[in-house]
A and B are shown apart, each in its own frame.
Chain A
């Protein structure tokens, strides 16, 4: 496989994952705005921060009001991480690697782009927002469904999955990075209504409100949430889950190609922080420090994969 093709597959699925994650964040922010009026603007500010485009946003806007934030995150083409930008980037990558995709995967991606291009052609009205967010999630799910249902399990599949899980791990870690302080075991906040809102938002941002409640019989605690998002192997957006998948896919690649590369070592050392570990260990290091280091290593892993498999030069 061409190095460029590997890179194209990786980024195609990384961008698709990102579009879905942005839709989740906007959905969580929207929910807070509708139910907790006083917390709304702060919440929109942290949504923008989570997507990593706060500086860019502040160059164009003074406040974090719902309309501006939603427009910026969904349809502003000057924002490289807006849904429309990432869906277009995903589709361009799909065109680049089209010969590696099944017809189903290509069509799902192309339809995603065509539908969202028209759904996001004009500013999204408040009453249309739930439907638009739903459309984004559904289309992303359709591509994933086509991938699982129709693609060969070979290196093509592995690079697609690596893109998905590196992005997902990055997204979950960013959510924790922005909100880590509400999860600290500091007595001052325990039980205050502010924290309940924040905890709820965190869970909603990863679409895990229901599953968490179900697993923990409704008992929401900051330590429980941190454990769920970092260590829980059952939770498909947890860091532990993502790294188990990254490990698997890198192993399939080395089995297939018959050689290991330096990125395998990085992935192994990151995975060791989750495998057989307990959340207490994270709090011993410090939640913030742990997340910062994770984000750094996750980025370093990407750089190494890019070099090892010759995405560019």
Chain B
């Protein structure tokens, strides 16, 4: 590059200065400039565009995007905070760009993994061959609170357990991807994938004529088709699909209502539903209408007070009986937690091999199970370098990020860990890749992860070319969770 526009050069330089700064302590793979400050192929057209961009215009666009998110009400609720209970997830205007080639590899790995998860769930709730074969310990299932005995022997319509899956993936190098965790219960975030893209299309239409970005906006249509394909035996005619939400105070309510709207499905709460003549029906202005497929965004525990938590007001009394008798499809199936539990996670490579006969295409992060004595003692000796997670935790709560923790925090955590080792797993601190984000000073590198969304129907697995990129907006931070100050970005998968 002989000629560089002066302004861009500044942007470019700032990005590099900060990057060098970071590199001086920890080496990270940057998705725009690699490890050696050489512009990577997927970002080539974007780089040309940003060459001519004024940083002030970008900042103005960024403020516009925020105003748009607010007036659209794309917010999430923060539990336990009285004031400003509805917050925005910060949106970064620099896209994260993935090549078609990279994507295809990820796709193959994800399909393999999701197939194995479904096979595993069916097996665990039926013949339990994998336990008989001794590939995973029996107590891991038997003593696991996310195992749902009520699902034993139940055949979900179409044999599908995991209708919607979110697979969290991180990257640490040019060719190194890891699956950080699987989400086979009620993965959220897809509305951000869609709204982030809409926002980018509005703000920077010119970028989409110079970059061949694969479309994600058909997701609601695919979701509707995929759910309809799993209709229960009792369905006659066109399947009626509804989304079950815990209500407007739930942190993901926006997403529930967004998806209902986009799919043309009804958004129902437990108190809209009633058991009428063996079917779960919704109360309408003209009477009671049976539901065929219920995309429920309510946890297993609250789904049916007659089967699970008797004090739940969010669910529908009797829905499990109707489900077992083929009167309704529940998506995702109850009891899926046993496939995405953090204690099971470390066995995923074995699970994949057992059901597909192939080696896992996507790697797992090396994991120490603190339930095992040798692992525990290693973890206790190396806490400052490890990330320790609760087996049933989510949202970044209750975890220890060793390198970022104070000595005191580490001591406190060690006490907790010793008290209940089986409750924890530990992983090395990964050098998550960075991508540029817009900051006050210009572009700067921040760490990211990626959650692609997968739809499963009988004989078919669809993956949207894109996903939710979460970004740790705080400099050097590795925690991308929105509840912990993370933001999101539009994720581009280019056509090759």
Give chain A's interface residues, CB within 8 Å of chain B: 1-4, 6, 92, 95-96, 98-99, 103, 106-107, 110-111, 114, 155, 257, 259, 309-310, 313
Chain A contacts of B253 at CB under 8 A?
Answer: 95
A114 CB contact (under 8 Å) in B70, B268, B269:
B70
Q: How far is the CA of A2 from the CA of B271 in the complex (A)?
A: 11
- Contact in complex: A310, B73 (CB < 8 Å): no
Given contacts A95-B253, A99-B260, A99-B267, whether A107 and B285 have CB atoms under 8 Å apart is: no
Interface size class of B (residues with CB under 8 A): 20 to 34
Q: How far is the CA of A196 from the CA of B282 in the complex (A)?
A: 55
Least CB separation from B242: chain A residue: A2
- Contact in complex: A155, B285 (CB < 8 Å): yes
- Contact in complex: B73, A106 (CB < 8 Å): yes
Q: How far is the CA of A142 from the CA of B260 in the complex (A)?
A: 26
- Contact in complex: A96, B283 (CB < 8 Å): no
- Contact in complex: A310, B267 (CB < 8 Å): no
B266 within 8 A of A: yes
Given contacts A95-B248, A95-B253, A99-B267, whether A6 and B285 have CB atoms under 8 Å apart is: yes
A271 to chain B, nearest CB (A): 22
Given contacts A3-B285, A107-B71, whether A99 and B261 have CB atoms under 8 Å apart is: yes
B175 within 8 A of A: no
A98 CB contact (under 8 Å) in B261, B266, B268:
B261
Least CB separation from B262: chain A residue: A99
Q: How far is the CA of A309 from the CA of B286 in the complex (A)?
A: 7
- Contact in complex: A2, B261 (CB < 8 Å): no
Chain A contacts of B284 at CB under 8 A?
Answer: 1-3, 310
Least CB separation from A309: chain B residue: B285
Q: Given A257-B285, A313-B271, 18 other A-B contacts at CB below 8 A? A: A1-B286, A2-B266, A2-B268, A2-B272, A2-B283, A3-B272, A4-B272, A4-B283, A95-B73, A95-B257, A98-B257, A99-B257, A99-B260, A107-B71, A110-B70, A111-B71, A114-B71, A259-B286
Chain A contacts of B260 at CB under 8 A?
Answer: 99
The interface centre, meaning the residue of B73, B269, B285 with most chain A CB atoms within 10 A of its CB, is B285
Least CB separation from B260: chain A residue: A99
The interface centre, meaning the residue of A3, A6, A103 with most chain B CB atoms within 10 A of its CB, is A3
B25 within 8 A of A: no
Least CB separation from B248: chain A residue: A95
- Contact in complex: A2, B282 (CB < 8 Å): yes
Chain B contacts of A114 at CB under 8 A?
Answer: 70-71
Least CB separation from A253: chain B residue: B285
Q: How far is the CA of A1 from the CA of B264 in the complex (A)?
A: 12
- Contact in complex: B73, A4 (CB < 8 Å): no
Chain B contacts of A98 at CB under 8 A?
Answer: 73, 257, 261
Chain B contacts of A2 at CB under 8 A?
Answer: 266, 268, 272, 282-285
Interface of A is mostly: helix
Given contacts A2-B272, A114-B70, whether A96 and B248 have CB atoms under 8 Å apart is: yes
Can you pick out 15 interface pairs between chain A and chain B where the beta carbons lie within 8 Å of each other? A1-B286, A2-B272, A4-B268, A4-B283, A6-B285, A92-B248, A98-B257, A103-B72, A107-B71, A110-B70, A110-B73, A309-B285, A310-B283, A310-B285, A313-B283
Chain B contacts of A99 at CB under 8 A?
Answer: 257, 260-261, 267
Least CB separation from B282: chain A residue: A2
- Contact in complex: A4, B261 (CB < 8 Å): no
Give chain B's interface residues, CB within 8 Å of chain A: 70-73, 248, 253, 257, 260-261, 266-269, 271-272, 282-286
Q: How far is the CA of A95 from the CA of B255 in the complex (A)?
A: 11
Ranked nearest first, the 6 interchain pairs of A and B with the lowest CB-CB distance are A99-B261, A309-B285, A3-B283, A98-B257, A6-B285, A95-B248
Least CB separation from B257: chain A residue: A98
Chain B contacts of A103 at CB under 8 A?
Answer: 72
Q: How far is the CA of A3 from the CA of B271 in the complex (A)?
A: 11
Given contacts A2-B282, A99-B260, whether A107 and B72 have CB atoms under 8 Å apart is: yes
Least CB separation from A91: chain B residue: B73
Chain A contacts of B286 at CB under 8 A?
Answer: 1, 257, 259
B286 to chain A, nearest CB (A): 5
B83 to chain A, nearest CB (A): 11
- Contact in complex: B248, A1 (CB < 8 Å): no
Q: How far is the CA of A309 from the CA of B72 in the complex (A)?
A: 29
B467 to chain A, nearest CB (A): 24
B116 to chain A, nearest CB (A): 35
Least CB separation from A155: chain B residue: B285
B62 to chain A, nearest CB (A): 19
Least CB separation from A98: chain B residue: B257
Q: How far is the CA of A54 from the CA of B284 in the complex (A)?
A: 37
Least CB separation from A8: chain B residue: B248
Least CB separation from B267: chain A residue: A99
The interface centre, meaning the residue of A98, A106, A313 with most chain B CB atoms within 10 A of its CB, is A98
Q: How far is the CA of A309 from the CA of B257 in the complex (A)?
A: 22
Q: How far is the CA of A4 from the CA of B260 in the complex (A)?
A: 15
Q: How far is the CA of A309 from the CA of B71 in the complex (A)?
A: 31
Least CB separation from A158: chain B residue: B285
Least CB separation from B245: chain A residue: A96
Q: How far is the CA of A106 from the CA of B73 in the complex (A)?
A: 9
Least CB separation from B263: chain A residue: A99
Chain A contacts of B283 at CB under 8 A?
Answer: 2-4, 310, 313
A205 to chain B, nearest CB (A): 32
Chain B contacts of A106 at CB under 8 A?
Answer: 72-73
Chain B contacts of A96 at CB under 8 A?
Answer: 248
Q: How far is the CA of A155 from the CA of B248 in the complex (A)?
A: 23
Chain B contacts of A3 at CB under 8 A?
Answer: 272, 283-285
The interface centre, meaning the residue of A99, A103, A111, A313 with most chain B CB atoms within 10 A of its CB, is A99
Q: How far is the CA of A107 from the CA of B261 in the complex (A)?
A: 15
Chain A contacts of B282 at CB under 8 A?
Answer: 2
Chain B contacts of A92 at CB under 8 A?
Answer: 248
Q: How far is the CA of A35 from the CA of B285 in the complex (A)?
A: 50
Chain A contacts of B266 at CB under 8 A?
Answer: 2
B258 to chain A, nearest CB (A): 8
Chain A contacts of B271 at CB under 8 A?
Answer: 4, 313
The interface centre, meaning the residue of B261, B271, B272, B283 with most chain A CB atoms within 10 A of its CB, is B283
Q: How far is the CA of A155 from the CA of B286 in the complex (A)?
A: 11
- Contact in complex: A110, B71 (CB < 8 Å): yes
A75 to chain B, nearest CB (A): 16
Chain B contacts of A107 at CB under 8 A?
Answer: 71-72
Q: How far is the CA of A114 from the CA of B268 in the complex (A)?
A: 26
A155 to chain B, nearest CB (A): 7
B326 to chain A, nearest CB (A): 25
Least CB separation from B259: chain A residue: A99
Q: How far is the CA of A111 from the CA of B71 in the complex (A)?
A: 6
Least CB separation from B71: chain A residue: A107
Q: How far is the CA of A114 from the CA of B266 in the complex (A)?
A: 27
The interface centre, meaning the residue of B71, B268, B271, B282 with most chain A CB atoms within 10 A of its CB, is B71
Chain B contacts of A257 at CB under 8 A?
Answer: 285-286
A126 to chain B, nearest CB (A): 28
